[in-house]
Structures are given as C-alpha cells and as structure tokens.
Chain A
Amino acid sequence: MSKQKQFISLVVMVGLILTAPLFSQGFSDQLNIHGFVSQGYLKTTENNYLASDSKEGCMSYSEATINFMTSPVDRLNIGTQLYARDMDEDGNLFVTIDWAYGDYRWKDYMGFRIGRFKNPVGLYAKLRDVDMARVPAFLPQSIYAESERDLNLAINGVGLYGNRPISILGDLDYEVVYGGYNIVDQQSSFFKNQYYMTAEPIAMGMMAMPGIISSTLTGTSNELSTIENVRGIDLRWNTPVPGLLLGSSINQLEFLWNYDANIDMVFPTADPASPYTMSQAVPIAGAYDIRTKIFFGEFQWNKLTVAGEYRTFDIEGDIVIGTTESHTKTPREMYYGMGTYQVNHRIAFSTYYSVFYANSDDKEGADQVVLGRPDHSAWQKDLCFTGRLDINDNWLFKAEYHMINGTGQVQGLHNPDGLKEDWSLLVLKSSFNF
C-alpha cells in the first residue's frame, strides 16, 4: 500500500470512528457499530523492547479499530472489523481487515463460521486486541508475545463451534478451525527478527573461512512467508464449581518462508589499507511445522479472578541455505499465573508472573552462549503489576510496571549494542471505546 493510500484509509477509518456513535444509535436494531482507539507509552531500562527507542521512552504504541455487525436473518450474523496498529516498525497504522466473517448458529450446540476470524489459541487469545476486556495492558508475554502477534492472530478458513450442557458436570464450549493466514506484514519486526536469528549465525560462521577479515549481515531481501494448513481445536469445560473453567487449545500450522540474506565479507589484499569487499546474497528457505498445546484454568469468585496457562510450542522443520539442507527442532515452554481484583466499577488491579523459555532443552542458555549470545537470552521471567482506572464507561487508563529477568523475547535487531539481563518496563495506556 502506498503512503498516500495508507493516509487516506487511515483518515477514513478515523472519520468512521468519530462519527460511528451517531450512526450506531440510529441503526442500533439493524446494525451494530463499535470501535476503540488507544494510545500507549513505553519506557524501558537497559534494553529496547518492542521498539527501537523504548529506552528513551516512546509513544509508538497505538491502536484503532471499528467494527460493523448485523443479523440479516435469524441465526445468521455477518460483520467485519477494520484494525490499524502502530508498534514501532510494525503496523505503521496500515488499515487491515482484522476479521470478516459470516456466522450461522444452527443450534446451540453447533454453529458455523466462514471467512476471517480470530484463532482460538489459549485462554485469552481473543482478548489480545481488546484492551477494554482485560486489566493488564500487555497480556503475559510468555504466551501472548506482542512480537509474535502475526503468528497466531486470525485465520482465513472455516470454523465449527458450540456449547453443550453435560448434566451436573457443567457445560462444554468447543471450537474447531481450519484454514490459513494472509501473508502478513513482511516488514514487521517479527519477520525481520526471524531472518536476523537465522542469518546472523551464517554471517558469523563465514568468519571461519580462511583469510576472511570480517563477515557482516547487512540485510535481507525477497522475503516471502505464508502460514498454511492451520488446524486447531479449543475446548473449555465450565465446571460445576461456580466460576471455575478448565480448558485446552491445540493448534498446528505450517510456516513457509524464504529470503536472501545479504552478507558483506571483507578479505585481505597486499595493501592492508584497501581490503577486498564482496557482497553475497545467500538464499535461505525454511519450512516449519509449529505445534502448540496449551492447558489453562480460570477461576472467578466475586471480584477476584485467578488464571494460569501452560504452553508448549514446538518448532520443527528444514532450513535450506544455498544448497545445504539442515533439520531443526526447538521445543519452547512458557507459563504464567495471574490474579486480578476488581475493587469497584472504576478501579482494578492485576499481577502476574510469566515465564518463557526459548528452548526447553536449554533452560540455562548453554546453547545460546555457543551461538555468541548471552545465556539470559534463553529465558524471560516477568513480574508485572497493573492498575486500571475506568474514568467512565468508555474511557480507561492503565499504568503497568514489569520487573524482568532475561532477554528471551527481546529482539536483537532493536539492541545492536547488546543485551542486559535485568531490566524493567513501564507501560502507560489509555483507551476510548464505544
């Protein structure tokens, strides 16, 4: 999308958001219109996180959305949501279709969806873009990593869902999905970091070539990536214990990508002042099978909500570098526990402890050291405290503080000068919705 089109689409969307409350009242029986805008501020110590300038404090954390829903005939709902986001290099306020689908609820125990809809991967996966529906500004990053938002967000495909009472044992919600993803933002830091993580070791490896002075990764090009054959199931058992929910999500997908890494190599010549420089494009392609299993529980009792999730995230596949093929397998592990207390209608507090391991077979980081990275890039442990103030029914403010050990989810691209093990993150965020 050109800058001009981007600007026009953003202006149209902001116009819709500003005027929609007027229209929505007039057509409330036929057409439901809702939306929100939010603006955040990030400030970190020691490491840049989610943005290349968070250590200085940055405002590049914005979201806006508007949706339209209608029910043209009984049991059928159709709707769409436009969404724009800015998170440093990600999004840049490009207006995208967040979801757009038709939903036919044939029976209470069986409904069908077709189109683009949210992928049910975890207890709060569908909350990640709904700031008003949760207390934390950032959901636990071990499982709901902002930097990997593109990977598990929405699916283009078909879904089957429903609810079935199971006598005295409560009731069961289920959802089964199949489909693929759009080719997501190729300029996002998520993809750039994937390339960086793969290509950087290659550049470093070339240092072993005889006579070479230096070898540097200078960029990537011709990026292409698709996510195919997404298969998922989500089960939620609303137990007979009031407020207790137990469940699991299992999801599998194929992630295909390729690009050319540009590597600059410097060789010595007879004149030390004029070394020979050669730039080489190294084609790299990968086909990953990514399997996610999540087990979760949530307990709501009066004003208190306690929740926890445990997730395994296995990446297995082949990487082809030039003509050399290699097999890779990385089991990730992550979990968190969270408590939320709603003091009154306006004030709520939340805290969570979130743990991420980049490789559950290397929790101490020995393999990271071999790759030339600090051991603490093998994990990330985050203790978070959040306060939420609802100024009125439409406008809220959040203040959040994270004390973090480890850099497993900190992007190297944002920290060319290296990573520090202990750091903190302050998030201030305000959202308006209607």
Chain B
Amino acid sequence: MNLQELILRLQSYWAEQGCVLQQPYDLEKGAGTFNPATFFRVLGPEPWSVAFVEPCRRPSDARYGENPNRWGAYYQFQVILKPSPANVLDLYWGSLKALGIDPLEHDLRLVEDNWEAPTQGAWGLGWEVWADGMEITQFTYFQQMGGFELNPVASEITYGIERIAMYMQNVDRIHDLNWVGELSYADVHLQAEVEQSVYSLEEADVAMLQGLFETYEREATRLLDLKLAYPGYDYVLKCSHVFNLLDARGAISVTERQAFINRVRTLSRKAAACYLAKREELGFPLLKGEARETLLADASRSGG
C-alpha cells in the first residue's frame, strides 16, 4: 500500500466513524496536539470527533535526510474522539484492519506510555501500540490540556504515518517509502528535508529568533488579553516553533530551557482559558441533548 493510499484509507475509515475530516493547520508545529482542532476542542464540555493529517516539524530531529528513521519533518495522522467512547480500542483495531493489518497475523501490543507536553500544560495516560515490536501509534487518554482538567475526557490516536508505511511496505528507510506510482518519499520531500536541516542546524539566525520569540510572546499576550483566542494562539504556536529552532541550534542552555518551557506553557494556559471563556459565552453550541441539559442544570444550580 503506498503512502497516500494509507492516508486515504485512514481518512475514509474515520469518516465512517463519524469524524469531521479537518485539514492540517497552516502554521509550523511539533505535533498534531498543537493543532487547534485538538488543543482547543478537547477543552470544555462540547463533544468533538475529528481526524486530520498533520505535517510536523521537529528541527532538532533534522539529520539532512540521512537517518533511516528520523526526519525533521514528518506526518502524523491524528484522531480525537471526545468523549472517548467505550469501544475506542476496538475502533482503533478496526482501523488497522482497514489498513490490512490482521491482528492474528501480527503481534499487536499495548505498551504503557504516558504522555506529557510541558509547553502545552498537558498530560495523559495511554500506550504506544506495537506491531511486531514497531511503535506505530501513540494512544492517549488526555487528562489535562492547557492546564485544565478535561471533562469529558478525549482519546487521542496518533498514527506515525512513515512508521506504519515502512512497516507495511517492508522498507528500512523513510527515503525508500513509496509515495505513489514511481515516486518515493525522497522524491517528494528530500530536497526540503536537506535544506531545512541546513537551516535548523546551521543557518537559523539565533539573534533574530530570540528577538522573534520576545515579539511573538508579547503579541500572543496582547491578543489573548483582547479575548482573541485563535489569533492569540497562533502566536503561541509561533513561539513554540521558534523555541524548537533555538533548541536545535544549541542556543538554549539547560537552565534557560526550563525558563523557555515555562513561558510557552504560561501562554498555552492563557490561550486555553481564553478559548474556554469564549465557548462558554457562546453557550457551548456543540453541546446537544441530555449532556446539554445536565450541564445547564448544573450551571444554574451552582449559580453560574
């Protein structure tokens, strides 16, 4: 199965399960959890089911396209189900079957792995999913996001597209993955990977980036103070990416590192609080039926 067919099958499988198919968010980010379709939507009482491909950038993983498994840019396929349904694991096994991975042909295992994203003020419990020893998915029940306890809890399924494709196509290097037809992953992405590696590891202008971090941080704060959740959050994402670039350039010492993380986390929390307040103001429009009645009744009882 080529790489784009793999994505198409995941999309159609999760669309059949009732997920909104969103598209990647148009800003640099290190993981799908930064997409507002995840970061914002898992907050608050409103139900939400979404699936999307997310291109991710991890400047410190850049290796000029020379490492067989590690590239600075790669894809995640993320599925958020909120509230997490009781059969979420069965749905997940179903998605593997849709990809042609038969659980009786392979050794599929859930291996404890707890997730934490300090810059997002987030953590959850779950597993790595192993197929014959290869980690192909990260499965997490989010417990906190942006510093807020989640209720209801959302489940997050993140497929490593390249990992699964390597596994299914029996290849040993990301390079050699078949994208479609005669085209390999390298044909599609290698030049960008090499150039971005040079940028991330050698050329990124540290002084400029440090300046940008300050600027973006101020702008994020200003916008969030204006109760503009989405634009404010965009600047949080920019801060996060600039921090990642500085880190890849080795421009952040161990002690500074924690300080940077704290600054981004503070912004994330502010963005989460801003989004939640806005949704509440809007009356949590996606909340329907019994859940809505219960919430409104609770709110009126607590005088809120």
Q: Do A and B come from one complex?
A: no
- Interface residues of chain B, those whose CB is within 8 Å of chain A, are none
